[in-house]
Amino acid sequence: MNGSIGIITALLLIWSGTAQAADPRYPDWPCIQAKVPEISLAAVWAGPSIDDVSSAWKDDAQVSALVERLATRRVPVEEAQKAITDFLSQSPDKARAGKLIFAGLFDSLNAQRATVLAGLERVTRKQREAADRVRADTAMLQTLQNASPPDQAKIDELNNKLLWEARIFDDRRRVVTFVCEVPTLIDQRLFALSRTIQQEME
């Protein structure tokens, strides 16, 4: 039984060592990567102003359908770039079409990022609550084990509960590590596609 406590304690130590927010402005941010709340327009777009198209991309059925496809991360970047090239090569107003596509991508991918960021912080709060429960149950288990005589049935029941809690806790921790990469991947996708749009507009 003490082996189980050791494993659980080690998990909690690993999590507490990585759960300290690097930036006090974002106490629930769990990633090593710095939290950037949204993509800066200037960081990804050096083309003409998109102020005149703003949300107009939503009113163009062809553009909005294309944007939806381009913003889907399972579509390879190379395939998305070719779709942009094909679309703009057939557009009678390449400059406006390019701005509409970019405006749509900028809105869509920023919204994706916001969802991912909120999800990561929500999981951090759940992990914090789970860690408190695991610590309380671990203390209770130690108390039961030190009792004289020990109630073996209760000890076994609580030990099984703790192992299950620890498994869920560790699974979440692993998922967070993977998902922390997603905002960067979204940034890279938007930058690559915006470059393609700008090259086609020139």
Domain borders along the chain are 2-201
Task: Give the mean pLDDT per block of 10 residues along the chain (202 residues).
Answer: 55 53 80 90 92 90 97 96 97 95 96 96 89 86 87 88 85 89 95 96 86
Which of these, 106, 124, 4, 123, lies nearest to 51 by C-alpha position?
106
pLDDT at 1: 46
CA dist., res. 20 & res. 164, Å (int): 25
CA dist., res. 103 & res. 190, Å (int): 11
Is the CB of residue 86 less than 8 Å from the CB of residue 97? no
Q: How far is CA 149 from CA 29, 125, 140, in A?
A: 45, 38, 15
pLDDT at 165: 85
Residue labelled with tokens 């701005």: 99
Is the CB of residue 186 less than 8 Å from the CB of residue 113? yes
pLDDT at 104: 97
pLDDT at 15: 52
pLDDT at 19: 52
Which of these, 39, 42, 71, lies nearest to 57 by C-alpha position?
71
pLDDT at 10: 55
